[in-house]
Structure 1
Amino acid sequence: MILKLSQRNFGLDILRAISIWLVLLQHGKILNIDGLKGLTLGGIGVEIFFVLSGFLIGQIIIRNLQKSNTIKCIVNFWIRRWFRILPLYYLMLLFKFTIIDSSIGSNILYYIFFLQNNFYGIEYYEVTWSLVIEEWFYIIIPIFLFLTLKLSRKKNNVVIILFILFILFENIIRLIYVKKFNVPYSGVNGNVIFRMDALFYGVLLAYIKINFQNIFIKLSSLPIFIFSLICFITYIYFIITFSKLELGINGYIIPRTIGFTIFPLIIAFILPFFDSKSSFFQNSIPRKIYYKFITYTSLLTYSIYLVHPLIFEQLINKKLFKMVPEISFILATTLTYMISYILFKFFEAPILKYRNKKFSDRVT
């Protein structure tokens, strides 16, 4: 479904826009915080994406499964997600392989089947690491919810307990894995098996919104938002501090284990305020042009995410542009927005229109 601008949740659009701009600033080499290794600015943006994706996708699949907990519902969900994710991903992958760099050869198959994180490496098209995690999440989450709703007989408290047990289990196996093999931060960050909890927090939040509305309203209160924001800043300071110590971020167990669940949990507590206070944010934007910029940025987030590294590596890393990085960043970002808009309007939107015509988001 492609929502009209007036139908979109502006609070969540702000979160998307913040997320993608953190990624752009990181990859544009414009704003790098000394000591913020491992969890980079772009990494912060991706963590927000993870929780937000879990929250939005969770609402779709939960509502459908609660009405019709069937295999047909799961298959329909997969088809709709593949129509959204795969066409542009494969188009950009094809462009990279045929026009920019074909040196990867037959190993491109790892990228085609979303296996690069765990079995090959992400250096060829680095930003795809997060898409790999999300794509496998899209496969796993409807099956998990299908079984959870069956086992719990749709008892809400039991569902919440099963969610918590899954998150605890993931933390335990991540701790065992890191301690046994002394895995560095980067070795955990992109590992599909050990990052599902970040998205599951979003799904858990979606379940609370749908089935425990009073709790969700309390979570969206200003005091909880402010407290969560303080925790958010504190955690980033915590990572910077660990990075500056003699052993670095890889010398300590917390950032490589429980840290991967603490940060998305904090984001999950921030998110309800943005979701529930859409009109507050909309009225706080002083000019209509800013409102439209944020909304269109949110709408183009996926294409911007895939397009920008191909543009940035061609412009920002050139010797001519290194002399004035700010100008190269502005040029590269402007070009990224232009190409992303064209791709969305003439490639993504027609595909999504066809998807919505053939595969309804409501299965009976």
Structure 2
Amino acid sequence: MKYVPALDGLRALAILLVLIFHWFPTNHWINTLPNGPMGVTLFFVLSGFLITSILINQRDTVGFFQAFKNFVARRALRIFPIYYAVLIGLLGLKKLLGIQIVSDFYQYPLYYWSYLYNHWLEKSQNWSDMLSPYWSLSVEEQFYIIWPMFVLGIASKRSLLTLLWCTTGIGLIARFVLIHQLNGIGVYMITCVDTFAWGGILAYYLKEGKEVQIKNVLTYVMPLAFIGFLYTTLLLTDQHLGKQLFFRTFTSIFSLGLIFGALQTNLWSRFLTTRPLREIGKVSYGLYVYHMVIPDLFYQLLNRIHISISDPYHVYGIVVLFGFSLASYYIFEKPIQSLKRYFV
């Protein structure tokens, strides 16, 4: 796939929603809508769209093993370096300076190292863990391992669309069983899998040249999805079956429309390509990985050297977070990503 600047703008909106959700109290007016779950769902749908597009193109040009090797290597180069750098850094800070964050990582490290943290969070339901946002990183990594096997190997070109539509149903069934009946919190990969499938459906139809048909369908579906989103969000409780099943569905369909609009030449895509959004989008992964950890460590270090500051709105923490993420991207992440050229 060619680089689409507007998609960086979408990443920026997604990460800003997550930051707002975590940096303001849940009862604050700005979090009337569930900004965090909205941002994560947008990330999932976007990942499903991009990954399915890449895999379809790979399948049409190279064999299974070459395509799978390229895909896994490129994902590893993008995802692993700063993720594992954070875990190593946390252990180092605890051992050398006695500084640590509030996290189950120190007691149950294997879940974090193996990208199975979402399974531990489902069991512990400990949202106070400062690495709790990493559940979505575990979900994405599990998706990256499983999905290529279906797209590149198991599913034929004809059956891929059937697989995608069936996967949207699998997510609903999984949420009914694991959330509604078993009182789970919905962080297993299978309870989120339909969000990726909605992005994959868009990728499939675009690959088939159905752009006009997609636009016509979204003209009618987007308003309905938005109404459904507002209804489940504002009028239903978290314990209501309708919200448990369909919040992610409505949010995914609406996200799909935002992605499709970003691919067109219009006012929306021009807004998304404004430089501030593009720059934030480029470092969105780092912002997500660091956003709970770096500000907290910054405040702890200030206390360690007896510097007291009044920062009720976390302004200094946000500045440090963005500065650290930018430095991480250009000094650490980008040079490593240049190695992707060996896996084209």
Q: TM tier, shorter chain?
A: 0.7 to 0.9
Are positions 1:267 and 2:255 aligned together?
yes
Are positions 1:174 and 2:202 aligned together?
no
Taking a change above 3 Å as real, the CA distance of residues 195 and 20 of structure 1, as seen in their structure-2 partners, is same
- 1:338: which partner in 2? 323
How far off is 1:234 after superposition?
Answer: 4.7
Q: Which digits, 9 at most, give the CA deviation of each residue in 1:280-310, with x for residues without a partner?
A: 446558xxxx922111111111111111211
Q: Which digits, 9 at most, give the CA deviation of each residue in 1:247-277, with x for residues without a partner?
A: xx22x21222243333212322332111223
Match of 2:203 among 199, 206, 217: 206
Q: TM-score, normalised by structure 2?
A: 0.83
- 1:4: which partner in 2? none
Partners of 2:261 and 2:215 lie apart in 1 by 4
- 1:12: which partner in 2? 7
Paired residue secondary structure (2:115): coil
- 2:52: which partner in 1? 58
Partners of 2:333 and 2:271 lie apart in 1 by 31
Are positions 1:256 and 2:274 aligned together?
no
Match of 2:292 among 289, 309, 322: 309
Partners of 2:235 and 2:274 lie apart in 1 by 36
- The answer as to whether partners of 1:118 and 1:192 remain within 8 angstroms in 2 is no
- The answer as to whether partners of 2:25 and 2:31 remain within 8 angstroms in 1 is no
- 1:161: which partner in 2? 162
Q: Which digits, 9 at most, give the CA deviation of each residue in 1:10-40, with x for residues without a partner?
A: 3322211111111111222178555968x72
Unaligned runs of 5+ in 2: 94-98
Partners of 1:57 and 1:305 lie apart in 2 by 19
How far off is 1:224 after superposition?
Answer: 3.3
Q: Identity of paired residues, percent? A: 24
Paired residue secondary structure (2:24): coil
State the AA in 1 paired with 2:170: F
Taking a change above 3 Å as real, the CA distance of residues 325 and 109 of structure 1, as seen in their structure-2 partners, is same
Partners of 1:218 and 1:22 lie apart in 2 by 30
Unaligned runs of 5+ in 1: 2-6, 244-248
Worse-superposed segment, 58-67 or 166-175: 166-175
Paired residues in the alignment total: 327
- The answer as to whether partners of 1:26 and 1:40 remain within 8 angstroms in 2 is yes
Are positions 1:143 and 2:149 aligned together?
yes
- 1:246: which partner in 2? none
Runs of 4+ with >6 A deviation: 315-321
Taking a change above 3 Å as real, the CA distance of residues 282 and 268 of structure 1, as seen in their structure-2 partners, is closer
Taking a change above 3 Å as real, the CA distance of residues 233 and 334 of structure 1, as seen in their structure-2 partners, is farther
Paired residue secondary structure (1:325): coil
Partners of 1:324 and 1:265 lie apart in 2 by 38
Are positions 1:359 and 2:343 aligned together?
yes
Taking a change above 3 Å as real, the CA distance of residues 216 and 27 of structure 1, as seen in their structure-2 partners, is same
Partners of 2:76 and 2:257 lie apart in 1 by 29
- The answer as to whether partners of 1:232 and 1:267 remain within 8 angstroms in 2 is no
Partners of 2:16 and 2:31 lie apart in 1 by 17
How far off is 1:340 after superposition?
Answer: 0.8
How does 1:177-196 map onto structure 2 within 5 Å? 177-181=178-182, 183-184=183-184, 187-188=185-186, 190-196=187-193
Are positions 1:105 and 2:106 aligned together?
yes
State the AA in 2 paired with 1:274: A
Match of 1:242 among 236, 251, 255: 236
Partners of 1:146 and 1:346 lie apart in 2 by 34
- 1:325: which partner in 2? 312
State the AA in 1 paired with 2:151: L
